[in-house]
């Protein structure tokens, strides 16, 4: 779950039937509220000094919302056979792209900002967190070939494309994406806790 820069967090309502399709739909509502709340804070001129921090939360919130919409759509119409593989391809591509962005840009920038305010967030902290999500992270890295070969609609090597798509498991894709979402949320939690406990909280 994405928290905003102030540590606030919207909670999903729990009740009968709060799992499955209804649960995912409720989660989408929560993520939409998070996204719009963060966007409003980023546009508020009074939060200018907080923009570097809020920007991290907004980017992860955008990823979470997009993935939740994909999951809701897939639950409503998962398809079968090749159609199902094509349906999850978009979710794979988004996850791979965000994984690269997280690895190459967001995490280094988070560590840099944390160091600037003497916050205790290091690459070692991130590595320790990654160990708990090793299967999901490894799978997302393996998906890079699928994302590259199936970008857009087709690749000149149709046989390879079909082989890659045939190897996709709907359940594995959903499970991996859900785990990767939890990982990105935990990265933000580490970042938020480190900033809140820092001697200086000004970016």
pLDDT at 156: 58
pLDDT at 27: 80
Query: Mean pLDDT of successive 10-residue segments in the chain (203 residues)?
Result: 46 38 74 88 79 88 93 85 81 94 94 88 90 96 82 60 74 93 94 84 50
pLDDT at 154: 56
pLDDT at 175: 94
Residue 71 tokens, joined: 């999951």
pLDDT at 159: 67
pTM of the predicted model, to two decimals? 0.78
pLDDT at 186: 95
pLDDT at 23: 66
pLDDT at 8: 47
pLDDT at 6: 46
């Amino acid at each position: 779950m994405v928290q905003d820069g102030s540590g606030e967090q919207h909670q999903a309502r729990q009740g009968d039937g709060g799992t499955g399709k209804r649960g995912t739909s409720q989660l989408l509502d929560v993520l939409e509220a998070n996204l719009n709340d963060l966007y409003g804070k980023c546009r508020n001129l009074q939060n200018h000094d907080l923009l570097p921090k809020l920007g991290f939360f907004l980017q992860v919130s955008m990823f979470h919302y997009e993935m939740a919409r994909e999951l809701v759509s897939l639950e409503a119409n998962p398809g079968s056979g090749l159609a199902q593989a094509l349906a999850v391809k978009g979710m794979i591509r988004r996850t791979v792209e965000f994984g690269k962005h997280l690895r190459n840009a967001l995490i280094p920038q988070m560590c840099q900002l944390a160091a600037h305010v003497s916050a205790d967030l290091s690459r070692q902290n991130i590595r320790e967190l990654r160990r708990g999500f090793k299967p999901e992270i490894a799978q997302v890295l393996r998906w890079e070939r699928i994302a590259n070969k199936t970008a857009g609609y087709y690749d000149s090597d149709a046989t390879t494309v079909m082989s890659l798509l045939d190897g996709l498991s709907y359940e594995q894709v959903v499970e991996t994406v859900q785990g990767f979402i939890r990982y990105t949320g935990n990265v933000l939690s580490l970042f938020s806790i480190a900033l809140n406990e820092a001697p200086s909280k000004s970016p």
